[in-house]
Copies of this chain bind each other. A is one copy, B any other.
Amino acid sequence: MLPMHRSVNGDRLQHTLEQLAYYSDTPAPAMTRVLFSPVDMAARRYIRDLCEAVEMQIRMDAVGNLFARWEGVAPDLAAIAIGSHIDAIPYSGQFDGTVGVLGAIEAIRTLQGTGERPLRSIELLLFTAEEPTRFGIGCLGSRALAGVLSPAELRLLSDETGEDFDTVRLAAGMTGELEDVRLPEDYYHAFIELHIEQGPILEREGIPIGVVTAIAAPATLHLTVEGEGGHAGTVLMPDRKDALTAAAAMVLAVEQIAATNPSPDAVATVGRLQVFPGAVNSIPSSVQLDVDVRDIQGPNRDAILDEIRRRVHEIAEERGVKLEAVLVNCDPPATCDPRLIHVIEQAAEELRLPTQPMVSRAYHDALFMATLCPTAMVFIPSHGGISHRPDEYTSLESIVQGVEVLVGALKRLAW
C-alpha cells in the first residue's frame, strides 16, 4: 500500500545542511573535508547520529562506507539504496554530495512520517571518498563496493605524506576486512543518487529536475617529470633540463588537445601540479602533475588520452627530461536504468515538476553502483553552473523538489 503524501520538511533539511557545513577545514562557504581528517570524522559522526535518531540500523564497512537501513516489512528482499558523499575537495562548496545524503535522510524521515513501513528495506549509503583528494582516485568507496578496486589495489594506495590507505583507514577505526567490502550482485534492487547538476543546463532552461541517462567516463593520468636541478644563477639556459618548463609545455598541450577535439564535451584539466624542490633560486628538478580527461563517449575519451600520452612523451624527449606516466583510472561510462528513469519521470510528473533527460559530465558514485544494480540519478539546478567552488549554490526550493521526487520514486520502488 502506497503511503499518503506528506510533504518534505524544508526547514529541517535546511537545518541539517547548515549543521553539516560547520564541519570544514576552511570557513564557510568554502568547504574542505578530506577523507578521514578530523572534520570528516566529525561530519560522519553527525550523519550517523541523524540516522540513529530515526532508528535506522547502522553498519560501516572496512573502507568507511556507511550503510543506514530502514528495515522493510520483507527484509529478505533486496533493498533500495539512496545516498551520495559528504567529502569535499579543498575550498569547494556546500552542496556537492551533501544534498544527496541529507536529502536521502529527509526522504526517509518524510516516508516514516506517513506511519507506513516499506516492503523492501531502504538503505542510505554514505560513500567514502567520492573525491580523489587524498588517495588520488575518485569514488574509492563505490569502486570497492563494486569490486572495481580490489583489496590488493586498495593496499597499494598511499597519500601525499606516504601513508598507505590500510594504515589510514585502520587508524580511523575502520577495522573490518577489506575482503568483505565488495557487495554481492543481488544486494540492492536499485540505487538512486540525488545530486546537484554542477553544470548550467537546468538553470538556463528553467527545468527543476534533470533525469540522468548516462554518466561521462573519467580518466586520470599521473605524470612525473624528472629533469635536472641546479642553481638558478649559475646554470646557463642551454645547459638546463628544467622539469617545470617541460611540465608547463605539457599543461599547454593537454589544454590544446582537449580544446581542439571535435567533441564539444571533451575536457582535460591539470588541477594538481607540484614542483620539487620548490625554491625561488633553484631550477626545478622534478614535477608531479595529474591530468583529468573526460568525454561523454568512452572511445573518444580514450583517443584524447592516447593523444595526450603521445604528446607529453614527445615533449619529454624534446627537452631531455624523463617522464613516467601512470594511468590512475580509466573508467567506462555508465548508462542509467530505463525502468528507474521512468519511475523518476513519473514521480516528477505527479508533482507537476518538468524534467529533462541529460548526461552527467561529472562522475559520481552512481557510475560504479551501476555495475552492481539498476541505477539512476536525479539532478537539481546549480546556480550559474558553478561547482567545486565556495560560491556553489542550489536553492532550498530546488533541493526540496529533488527530495520530493526521491520520495515519489521510493514510494513506487519500495512499497
**Residues of A in contact with B (beta carbons under 8 Å apart):** 89-92, 131-133, 136, 138, 197-199, 216, 218, 220, 229-238, 242, 244-245, 247-249, 251-252, 255, 258-259, 264-267, 269-285, 290, 292, 294, 361-363, 385-389
Contact = CB atoms under 8 A, between A and B. Distances in A.
The 9 closest A-B pairs by CB, nearest first: A248-B248, A248-B251, A232-B269, A89-B279, A233-B362, A199-B234, A231-B387, A90-B277, A91-B277
A26 to B, nearest CB: 9
Contacts of A387: 230-231, 234
Given A245-B251, A252-B249, A276-B91, A388 B281 contact: yes
A281 B276 contact: no
Contacts of A272: 275, 278-280
Nearest to A269: B232
A233 B216 contact: yes
* Copies of this chain, count: 2
A199 B244 CA distance: 21
Given A90-B278, A198-B234, 18 more contacts: A92-B282, A132-B279, A132-B280, A138-B281, A198-B231, A199-B235, A220-B280, A232-B292, A242-B255, A245-B251, A245-B255, A271-B280, A271-B281, A271-B282, A272-B278, A272-B279, A272-B280, A280-B290
A281 B285 CA distance: 25
Contact of A292 (B264, B270, B281, B290): B281
Contacts of A362: 231, 233-234
Contact of A388 (B89, B230, B242, B276): B230
Contacts of A132: 279-281
Nearest to A290: B280
A98 to B, nearest CB: 15
Q: Which of A233, A259, A294 has the most CB of B within 10 A?
A: A233
Contact of A265 (B136, B138, B236, B279): B236
Given A244-B273, A255-B245, A233 B363 contact: yes
9 contacts: A89-B277, A91-B276, A232-B292, A233-B267, A233-B361, A237-B267, A238-B259, A274-B275, A282-B388
A214 B271 CA distance: 43
Contacts of A267: 232-233, 235-237
Contacts of A363: 233
Q: Which of A232, A236, A385 has the most CB of B within 10 A?
A: A232
